[in-house]
Amino acid sequence: MVEAQEDFVQKRETIIIKGNEAAAYAAKSARVQVISAYPITPQTTVVEKLSEFVDNGEMPGTQYIKVESEHSVFASVIGASKAGTRTFTATSGQGIFYAHEMIHWAAGARLPIVVAIASRGPAPPWNIWADFTDVLSQRDTGWMSAFCATHQEIYDEILMSYKVCEDHDILLPKFVAYGGFILSHTSKPVIIEDQDLVDSFLPSLPSEEGWPHIWMDPKRPMMFGNLIMPSSFYLEFRLKIQNAFIRVKEKIKKVTKEFEKIFGRNYGNGLVQEYKMNNVDVGVIIYGDLALQMEQAVDELRDQGYKVGMVKLRHFRPFPTEDIIEVAKKVKLLGVIDRATAFGSQTGGPVSCEVKTALHETQETAKVLPIINGLGGREVTLEQQKNQLKALIKFNETGEIPKDTIHGTLWDGLLEVE
Amino acid sequence: MPLLDILHSIEINKSKLNKLSDNEKIVEISMHCRGGQTCITASQLLAEMAYEEDFRDTIAIPIIGAERRGAPVQAFTKISKSKAIKTYDSVINPDYMLMFDTSLLDIPTIKATIKEGVNLIINSPNPIDISSLPNNIKIFIVDATGICIKHNFMHASGPILNIPMLGAFGKISGYFNLETMEKVIKKEFGESRLEKNMSVAKDAYESVREI
């Protein structure tokens, strides 16, 4: 371990940094105790920046572990978390898939691990650019998942996540995802908060005793990960996870409010963030980096007199069913924009499927048009997003189905092939 | 509103935008270099230098793939004094273009973004043939490569062009001066090569000229 130069001395400052660096600063601000690292594009600079912090003695006491694969990354943070420490790592795409076994394990063991994901498209064909299929394909593992639209949101969401995950009523792991390269490698001004203020917001680090349900202590021997017979409590453990996911919605809302009170930045109710959703005919649900750019598309069409609005989906798990039902009451037509795929599902898009499921028992709700765009980092321009809104307006007014609607889903931005 | 009317109103908005002063609009800069000529770092440094000069929102957008030394690379920076920057997309209507390598002017996709009103800063010791470029553009040249060689400002595969190109940009745009450059370079790279960095920046700042 590196000898501490100084205690965590971060002062409030605004610096122009990449999204990946914002994630690293958040881990530092959260005083994480164990970081496990294996490089993968586009995540690599997260763990590079953290290794710099540790090497410079800016994170006294933090253990930085280099391992040989993502499977071991997750295995080692699971071990560290079981021993009662605040843990962090980051990965992308194929790295998540390789760690999939351990990802289930972390949730089953109810370990509050927070992992940053610089999302990239699954191979083949080999792809390293923004596509949320990697994190969304972990849908049923028991991990929470959040999307970030800005560099600042990466920093903020990681802080909020520790507060939510480590709550003793919750104890669940969480992915904090943002688009590879689009956020991970672009730079914007980010406010890094004063260490004292972050300390006052976050729960204190776990005590020597560890978490309330799991620990590693020779004086209190405990067996974990053992075989459990079908007649024993497996079914009940699974129900407990689902119950925690029900409870966590309120917790996320509460933490988001507290965050705003202390740091002054608003993220809607934490689960969703509405933008110009009053007096609207047509709205879109969108997540990740494209949500920020869509705000401008909405602004520009509003200036031209169109009644359009948008909802930024901030969490995929837990899925904000109640909020989506309310949003759908406000509009006649709802576009749901995925930068990810769920092959063989009703719409082909993971979030549009969830939205349809959420609305299926609701009377007199909006019509849904699923949209898929930007796969594998295909650029989605502001102009394209404005055209998406215009296509929705036209569809709403005239019933004209947008071009490139295939099996009921609009695949926007396809290359022209002769 | 019929689609044609929408398109028409967008055109009007665009022409309005062009008349806005630098204080009100988002200034967009595109940079083109070959792998190793350091335009990715330039986009980051430009964002930081502009931020020091009251551009309250900035974004550096490097287009990163699997480029190797010598392959065409592009990077963009958007800077704004009063408007929040909400877009992550590529710059296709730049206010300024920084051309690190004259051979890139022949690439059709790059050439297509050289449009009316653009300020084009080219790394070249001599005036270039501009007959094939649009009329209403301003062209500036700076011998960035020559300056780097003169000061032995090199990395393993060639001259470090980002500092002289930014020096030229600072002068032409008036957005930042050598003092601001020094502050940012010191923050990013420390004291050890500061003097050399600044000699290079100063030479470019003073020698860039319009053709």
Residues of A in contact with B73 (CB under 8 A): none
A33 within 8 A of A86, measured Cβ to Cβ: yes
| B9:A188 CB<8 A | no
Query: Between chains, do A295 and B59 touch, taking CB under 8 Å as contact?
Result: no
HEC-encoded secondary structure of chain B: CCHHHHHHHHHHHHHHHHHCCCCCCEEEEEEEEECCCCHHHHHHHHHHHHHHCCCCEEEEEECCCCCCCCCEEEEEEEEECCCCCCCCCCCCCCCEEEECCHHHHHCHHHHCCCCCCCEEEEECCCCCCCCCCCCCCEEEEECHHHHHHHCCCEECCEECCHHHHHHHHHHHHCCCCHHHHHHHHHHHHCCCCHHHHHHHHHHHHHHCEEC
Average pLDDT in chain B: 89
Residues 6+ apart with CB under 8 A from B112: none
Confidence (pLDDT) at A9: 74
Residue B47: which of A16, A379, A394 has the nearest Cβ? A16
CATH of domain A13-263: 3.40.50.970
Residue B19 has pLDDT above 60, yes or no: no
Of the pLDDT bands very low, low, confident and very high (cuts 50, 70, 90), residue B18 is very low
Domains A13-263 and A272-411 share a fold: yes
- Tell whether B37 is covered by a domain: yes
Contact list, B3 vs chain A (CB under 8 Å): 390, 394
Is B19 a domain residue?
no
Q: Do A293 and B89 touch (CB under 8 A)?
A: yes
Q: Is the pLDDT of residue B130 over 90?
A: no
With a CB-CB cutoff of 8 Å, which residues 8-67 of chain A face chain B? 16, 42
Of A48-52, B22-26, B107-111, the one with minimum mean pLDDT is: B22-26
B61 pLDDT higher than 80: yes
Which structural domain range is residue B36 located in? Answer: 26-210
Q: Tell whether B20 is covered by a domain.
A: no
Q: Looking at CA atoms only, how far is residue A10 from chain B in angstroms? A: 16
Q: Which two tokens stand for residue A397?
A: 């007014």
- The pLDDT assigned to B11 comes to 43
Q: What is the CATH number of the domain that holds B149?
A: 3.40.920.10
Domain parsing of chain A, residue ranges: 13-263, 272-411
- Alpha-carbon span A284 to B78, nearest angstrom: 26
Nearest to A381 among B61, B62, B89 (CB): B89
pLDDT-based confidence at residue B20 (cuts at 50, 70, 90) = low
Option in B9, B47, B90 nearest A379 (CB): B90
List C-alpha distances in Å: B39 to B96, B104, B163, B165, B204.
14, 13, 10, 9, 16
Give residue B129's pLDDT band: very low, low, confident or very high (50, 70, 90). Answer: confident
Q: How far is CA B197 from CA A125, B19, B37, B207, in A?
A: 42, 36, 15, 16
Q: Total domain count for chain B?
A: 1
Q: Is residue B203 included in any domain, yes or no? A: yes
- Does B4 score more than 60 pLDDT? no
A305 touches chain B (CB under 8 A): yes
Segment B158-181 shows an average pLDDT of 97
The distance of B207 to chain A (nearest Cα, Å) reads 29
Tell me which residue in A182, A186, A296 faces B60 most closely, judged by beta carbons.
A186
Segment B175-184 mean pLDDT: 97
B62 Cβ under 8 Å from any chain A Cβ: yes
Give me the pLDDT at residue B15, please.
42
Which of A16, A92, A390 to probe the B interface (max B CBs under 10 A)? Answer: A16
Q: Nearest Cβ partner of A185 from B58, B64, B87?
A: B64
Q: Looking at chain B, which residue has its C-alpha nearest residue A306?
A: B1
pLDDT in tens, chain A (418 residues): 444 445 667 889 999 999 999 999 999 999 999 999 999 999 999 999 999 999 999 999 999 999 999 999 999 999 999 999 999 999 999 999 999 999 999 999 999 999 999 999 999 999 999 999 999 999 999 999 999 999 999 999 999 999 999 999 999 999 999 999 999 999 999 999 999 999 999 999 999 999 999 999 999 999 888 899 999 999 999 999 999 999 999 999 999 999 999 999 999 999 999 999 999 999 999 999 999 999 999 999 999 999 999 999 999 999 999 999 999 999 999 999 999 999 999 999 999 999 999 999 999 999 999 999 999 999 999 999 999 999 999 999 999 999 999 999 999 999 988 7
| B contacts of A188 (beta carbons < 8 Å) | 47, 57-60, 85
CA A325/CA A361 separation, integer angstroms: 10
- If DSSP codes are grouped into helix, strand and coil, which group holds residue A313? strand
Give residue A7's pLDDT: 63
CATH of domain A272-411: 3.40.50.920
**With contact defined as beta carbons under 8 Å apart, do A90 and A116 qualify?**
yes
* A203: its two tokens: 């729960």
